[in-house]
Amino acid sequence: MRIYLLFSQQKTLACIQSLMFGLDLGLLEAEIEGDALTVIRKLRDVSEDISETRAFIKDGKRLSRCFHTCQFQHVRRSANRVSHLLATESLKQGFQLCMRDGVPDFARDEVDKDRS
């Protein structure tokens, strides 16, 4: 249970950070893709979440309402390789990524594969 909770919290926090980044950029529409189906389902659900991650889910829902439109889409991890690589590498190296200036060198090959 504890490992799942940490995983779920990390995925939800990544979503919240993406929403905050979109709002900081002044975006009006957002489509958030993630490979954690449970998190995506909870963010889509109109009922109040009662799980241990409810505070994170509530924040995500609140932030999503700041956009004109916001959709949460589940994607398989195999289709989400770039995101997974970025998250894994930043955790390993202990830094946060901001891709405002482009894709980091270590992820360029994966981005090229994703585009083709």
CATH at residue 36: 3.30.420.10
pLDDT tens digits, residue range 46-65? 998 888 888 999 999 999 99
* Dist. CA 97–CA 4, nearest whole Å: 24
pLDDT value at position 14? 85
pTM: 0.71
Is residue 49 located within the same domain as residue 104?
A: no
CA proximity to 83, closest of 109, 61, 107:
107
What is the number of domains present in the chain? 2
pLDDT values of the chain reduced to their tens digit, one per residue, 116 residues: 455 556 678 888 888 988 998 999 899 999 998 888 889 999 999 998 888 888 999 999 999 999 999 999 998 877 667 777 777 777 777 766 666 667 777 777 877 777 66
pLDDT value at position 44? 94
pLDDT value at position 112? 78
* Dist. CA 60–CA 22, nearest whole Å: 12
10 is in which domain, residue-wise?
1-75
Type of residue found at 87: A
